[in-house]
């Protein structure tokens, strides 16, 4: 009886070519598994393509809600942003995909999992760390690192390989951006982006929205409510998180929100340039942060910002299934228990403009913040505070003056 391999299958040229290659090279029975994290119409026609290419079975697993509730929302609550710009769209999806691949492998009695990530990227790390953490006994095949047996070096090679194996596919030799899409975002790499000196060709690139220049000349108001850090309603309508992100994607795309051009530092040591479209995610993160700033005290917010940055790096590096991620998430969850309230803002040509925030747990006190004297604040108290707060500076200045005089 042949061993089974679970192939992380996207339906693209790379993973389609892997089906006959795995059978021919290792004599595996190939079970394809396509994990749906909100890719949309990219999944059309996959079953026929997988069977045509020699797979014995295809799973199409819709895990969009799990992705949103258990992977996206912890990052939103943590305000996790990698290198000040990247909202972790691909990074958050890889651990939930790895988790489901392992579950299918167990169900099918497979011994191996195969992925099509390249040897230069971050995804190979994210997939494999997830698999190792959840199923250390499973073997992993990464063809793009196996240059002794994987001889294909281009799309042309893969197309010819498929044709030689009787697989006629709707792919041509044209080159396009390398993209990754899920409900949270879509990323673009390649073509003119490979040279940081080039301006992105947004007209040819953008999928989820338009540039701010092409956005409507009229702004649009949006109202959201949160409970314990989780969005509950959008413009008065109660929805689950995946539905809210879907609606925000449409609104954000329309108004040119969430387009980021970044040169980031990959885990493997190189710099890489990409353009990310994250319209709904950008709005959701900003709305959450606007509410949170009313509620958290200064020291908690400061600690959370530091841990949020560390949380982003953990997720970016594929270390989701680690005690450290769990510990930081536990801290974040405690900070979120009172992040409840309403946020109103206006979307206008790439901007998210505050239009009012309220919360029953707001620490903003108008009496304290006002320039007029309130009941809780005596201006005279500031003199003693400044004397003590500035004492180390004064003592040092006195000592330096004493040394100079000598």
DSSP states along 252-263: HHHTT--EEEEE
Pairwise CA distance, residues 291 & 190, whole Å: 37
Which pLDDT belongs to residue 40? Answer: 79
Establish whether 178 is a catalytic residue.
yes
Residue at a domain's end among 164, 198, 220: 164
Residue at a domain's end among 164, 195, 221: 164
Which pLDDT belongs to residue 120? Answer: 92
Structure-token match 């949170």, residue found: 292
Annotated active-site residue in 123, 181, 187, 359: 123
Task: Kindly report the CATH number assigned to the domain that includes residue 197.
Answer: 3.90.1260.10
Pairwise CA distance, residues 185 & 89, whole Å: 6
Pairwise CA distance, residues 355 & 236, whole Å: 16
Annotated active-site residue in 178, 242, 309, 362: 178
How would you write the pLDDT of the chain (406 residues) with one tens digit per residue?
A: 899 999 999 988 899 999 999 999 999 999 999 999 998 777 777 888 898 899 999 999 999 999 999 999 999 999 999 999 999 999 999 999 999 999 999 999 999 999 999 999 999 999 999 999 999 999 999 999 999 999 998 888 998 999 999 887 776 666 689 999 999 999 999 999 999 999 999 999 999 999 999 999 999 999 999 999 999 999 999 999 999 999 999 999 999 999 999 999 999 999 999 999 999 999 999 999 999 999 999 999 999 999 999 999 999 999 999 999 999 999 999 999 999 999 999 999 999 999 999 999 999 987 666 666 567 788 888 999 999 999 999 999 999 999 999 8
* 15 and 149 inside one domain: yes
Residue 101 lies in a domain: yes
Tell me, yes or no, if the pTM score tops 0.75. yes
* 346 and 205 inside one domain: yes
Which pLDDT belongs to residue 48? Answer: 86
Structure-token match 């029975």, residue found: 29
Establish whether 195 is a catalytic residue.
no
Cα dist. 235→221, 228, 231, 343 in Å? 9, 18, 11, 10
Pairwise CA distance, residues 209 & 201, whole Å: 14
* 234 and 349 inside one domain: yes
* 22 and 111 inside one domain: yes
Domain containing 384: what range?
375-399
CB 308, CB 82: distance < 8 Å: no
* 159 and 273 inside one domain: no
Residue 370 lies in a domain: no
* 218 and 292 inside one domain: yes
- Our count of domains for the chain comes to 3
Residue 85 lies in a domain: yes
Establish whether 123 is a catalytic residue.
yes
Which pLDDT belongs to residue 270? Answer: 96
The 3-class SS string of 296-327 reads CCHHHHHHHHHHHHHHHHHHHCCCCCCHHHHH
Residue 217 lies in a domain: yes
The set of residues, in sequence order, having a beta carbon less than 8 Å from that of 297 and lying 6+ positions away, is 363
* 131 and 183 inside one domain: no
* 132 and 258 inside one domain: no
Residue 332 lies in a domain: no
Pairwise CA distance, residues 71 & 89, whole Å: 10
Annotated active-site residue in 10, 49, 94, 180: 94
Residue at a domain's end among 115, 134, 164: 164
* 243 and 349 inside one domain: yes
Residue 185 lies in a domain: yes
Task: Kindly report the CATH number assigned to the domain that includes residue 62.
Answer: 3.40.50.620
* 285 and 346 inside one domain: yes
* Secondary element (H or E) of residue 236: none
* 96 and 208 inside one domain: no
Residue 282 lies in a domain: yes
Which pLDDT belongs to residue 62? Answer: 96
CA torsion sign, 118 to 120 to 123 to 128? positive
Establish whether 14 is a catalytic residue.
yes
Pairwise CA distance, residues 339 & 361, whole Å: 8
Residue 312 lies in a domain: no
* 100 and 199 inside one domain: no
């Amino acid at each position: 009886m042949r061993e089974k391999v679970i192939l992380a299958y996207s339906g693209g040229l790379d993973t389609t070519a892997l089906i006959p290659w795995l059978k021919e090279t290792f004599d595996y029975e190939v079970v394809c598994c396509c994990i749906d994290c909100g890719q949309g119409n990219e999944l059309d026609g996959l079953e026929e393509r997988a069977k045509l290419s020699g797979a014995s079975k295809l799973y199409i697993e819709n895990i969009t809600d799990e992705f949103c509730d258990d992977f996206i929302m912890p990052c939103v609550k943590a305000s996790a942003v990698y290198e000040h710009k990247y909202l972790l769209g691909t990074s958050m999806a890889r651990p939930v995909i790895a988790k489901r691949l392992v579950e299918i492998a167990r169900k099918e009695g497979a011994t191996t999992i195969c992925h099509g990530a390249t040897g230069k990227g971050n995804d190979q790390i994210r997939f494999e760390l997830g698999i190792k953490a959840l199923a250390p006994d499973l073997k992993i095949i990464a063809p793009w690192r196996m240059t002794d047996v994987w001889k294909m070096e281009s799309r042309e090679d893969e197309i010819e390989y498929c044709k030689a194996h009787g697989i006629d596919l709707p792919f041509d030799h044209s080159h396009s951006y390398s993209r990754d899409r899920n409900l949270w975002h879509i990323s673009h790499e390649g073509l003119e982006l490979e040279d940081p000196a080039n301006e992105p060709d947004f007209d040819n690139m953008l999928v989820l929205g338009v540039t701010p220049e092409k956005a409507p000349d009229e702004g649009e108001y949006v109202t959201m409510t949160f409970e314990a850090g989780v969005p509950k309603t959008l413009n008065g309508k109660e929805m689950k998180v995946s539905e809210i992100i879907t609606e925000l994607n449409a609104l954000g795309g329309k108004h040119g929100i969430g387009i980021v051009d970044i040169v980031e530092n990959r885990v493997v040591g190189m710099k890489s340039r990409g353009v990310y479209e994250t319209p709904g995610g950008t709005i959701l993160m900003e709305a959450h942060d606007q509410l949170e700033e009313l509620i958290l005290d200064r020291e908690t917010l400061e600690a959370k910002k530091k841990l949020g940055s560390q949380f982003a790096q953990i997720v970016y590096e594929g270390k989701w299934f680690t005690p450290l991620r769990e510990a930081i998430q536990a801290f974040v969850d405690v900070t979120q228990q009172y992040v409840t309230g309403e946020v109103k803002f206006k979307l206008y040509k790439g901007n998210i403009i505050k239009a009012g925030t309220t919360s029953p747990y707001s620490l903003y006190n108008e009496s304290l913040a006002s320039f007029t004297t309130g009941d809780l604040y005596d201006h005279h108290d500031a003199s003693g505070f400044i004397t003590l707060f500035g004492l180390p500076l004064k003592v040092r200045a006195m000592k330096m003056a004493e040394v100079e005089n000598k």
